[in-house]
């Protein structure tokens, strides 16, 4: 067993961190303050070649491993401190591009992946509906076959990237009564007749990573845009779409940057005639942040390594997702505490991570649902 990245992986990590520090970190506060998608920041990621990092090379991507993917996601989030941009990228690459790479036929891959790898097309995954959140099998967006098309009706909400996406991987049902056995996936382009997106939803934070609604009003989808097979959508979500499970790696970068910033602040802030890092109660908070970071790193790399080995990651993914996002929330609370009053001021960006980490415990399946999944697996329910 080897707990270290190899030289090549370490060099890649360093390179992404240097890029992030130079190109992404400057202006992040202003971008969040504006609260809208920043095309210039996305262009920088594209020029650096990140949008297609794990897309197979034959479709213009980097063909990187899961270990490389989490290394880059953590490095970008940590050194760039632009959690919104990192999340936007993770959504595009892991939630939208890789389902097409894993389930698409050669025509679909040739049609979409090269332009998704270059970042010319931005992707989103549309599953959640106003009436179907944790209970994803109860969704009511309905697809009916009509000759060489499907007609789609319904609506989606809380969809990351929706306001700016060009391509949506949509989960609908072809048979509502069949619940899980009716779920079917489609590749839907923004310009297909009958698709409309709403205004970006205003979140507590992270509005430069836009979230929104998608409406389908007799939306006509060519039948060739069926992704995989009809009625297999639930099975795909459980087993095939394992890249999506790595999308929480940026929270490990958040844990690392919270700790680094808190150490620096605590060394410079003087109270009672000495740096606050001299106080054991402050040291205890830093120690707990470090323990959470180390555990999150191990869980993330174990998950990515198992994925690269082709092993089943269902249990590991639920454990990692829950632990990492909750650890990020704990760490963000402590960071604000260490910054004291300054932690509550917008002038200091540390407080932003409180809401961002909270969103992590909800999006992609809540902590309660992850615990339910783990519990069911443990007891064969």
Q: Which tokens in the block code for residue 44? A: 């920088």
In angstroms, give the least distance from the CB of 259 to ligand FAD.
23
Q: Which residue is nearest to ligand FAD (CB)?
A: 133
Q: Which residues of 95-110 are buried (b: 16+ CB within 10 A; e: fewer)?
A: bbbbbbbbbbeeebbe
Q: Which tokens in the block code for residue 274? A: 């000495």
> Do 345 and 142 form a contact (C-beta atoms < 8 A)?
no
In angstroms, give the least distance from the CB of 60 to ligand FAD.
24
Tell me how far CA of residue 179 lies from CA of 103, 173, 233, 237, in angstroms.
21, 8, 11, 14
> Do 167 and 227 form a contact (C-beta atoms < 8 A)?
no
- The strand pairing partners of 154, in sequence order, are 216
In angstroms, give the least distance from the CB of 287 to ligand FAD.
30
In angstroms, give the least distance from the CB of 360 to ligand FAD.
8
Query: Residue 248: which of 367, 163, 129 has the closest Cα?
Result: 367
- DSSP, res 167: E
Indicate which residue of 32, 244, 326, 329 is catalytic: 244
In angstroms, give the least distance from the CB of 263 to ligand FAD.
29
Residue 38, phi-psi category: left (phi > 0), alpha (psi -120 to 50), beta (remainder): beta
> Do 162 and 136 form a contact (C-beta atoms < 8 A)?
no
Cβ proximity to ligand FAD, 96 vs 313, nearer residue:
96
Cβ proximity to ligand FAD, 20 vs 127, nearer residue:
127
Cβ proximity to ligand FAD, 122 vs 259, nearer residue:
122
Whether 205 sits among the annotated catalytic residues: the reply is no
Cβ proximity to ligand FAD, 93 vs 338, nearer residue:
93
Cβ proximity to ligand FAD, 77 vs 289, nearer residue:
77
Q: Which residues bind ligand FAD (CB under 6 A)?
A: 91, 125-128, 133-134, 158-160, 211, 359, 362-366, 368-369, 372
In angstroms, give the least distance from the CB of 283 to ligand FAD.
33
Tell me how far CA of residue 157 lies from CA of 125, 162, 172, in angstroms.
11, 9, 13
Do β-strands 123-126 and 167-173 pair in parallel, antiparallel, or remain unpaired? parallel
Cβ proximity to ligand FAD, 138 vs 235, nearer residue:
138
Catalytic residues: 244
């Amino acid at each position: 067993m080897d707990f270290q990245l190899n030289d090549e992986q370490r060099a890649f990590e360093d390179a992404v961190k240097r890029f992030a520090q130079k190109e992404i970190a400057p202006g992040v506060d202003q971008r969040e303050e504006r609260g809208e998608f920043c095309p210039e920041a996305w262009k920088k990621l594209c020029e650096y070649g990140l949008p297609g990092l794990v897309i197979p090379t034959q479709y213009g991507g980097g063909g990187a491993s899961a270990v490389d993917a989490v290394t880059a996601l953590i490095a970008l989030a940590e050194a760039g401190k632009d959690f919104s941009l990192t999340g936007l990228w993770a959504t595009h690459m892991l939630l939208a591009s890789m389902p097409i790479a894993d389930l698409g036929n050669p025509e679909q891959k040739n049609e979409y992946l090269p332009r998704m790898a270059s970042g010319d097309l931005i992707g989103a995954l549309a599953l959640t509906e106003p009436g179907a959140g944790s209970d994803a099998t109860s969704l009511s967006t309905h697809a009916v076959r009509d000759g060489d098309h499907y007609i789609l009706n319904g609506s989606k909400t809380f969809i990351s990237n929706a306001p700016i996406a060009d391509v949506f991987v949509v989960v609908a049902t072809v048979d509502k009564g069949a619940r899980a056995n009716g779920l079917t996936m489609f590749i839907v382009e923004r310009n297909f007749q009958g698709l409309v997106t709403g205004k970006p939803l205003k979140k507590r934070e992270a509005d430069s990573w836009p979230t929104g609604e998608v409406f389908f009003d007799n939306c006509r989808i060519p039948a060739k845009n069926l992704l995989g097979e009809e009625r297999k959508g639930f099975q795909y979500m459980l087993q095939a779409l394992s890249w999506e499970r790595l999308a929480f790696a940026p929270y490990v970068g958040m844990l690392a940057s919270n700790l680094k910033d808190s150490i620096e602040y605590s060394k410079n802030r003087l109270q009672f005639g000495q740096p606050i890092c001299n106080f054991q109660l402050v040291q205890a908070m830093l120690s707990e942040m470090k323990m959470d970071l180390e555990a999150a790193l191990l869980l993330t790399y174990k998950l990515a390594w198992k994925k690269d080995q082709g092993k089943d990651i269902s249990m590991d993914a639920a454990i990692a997702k829950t632990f990492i996002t909750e650890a990020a929330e704990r760490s963000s609370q402590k960071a604000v505490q260490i910054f004291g009053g300054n932690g509550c001021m917008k002038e200091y960006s540390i407080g932003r991570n409180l809401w961002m980490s909270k969103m992590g415990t909800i999006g992609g399946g809540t902590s309660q649902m992850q615990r339910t999944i783990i519990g069911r697996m443990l007891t064969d329910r």
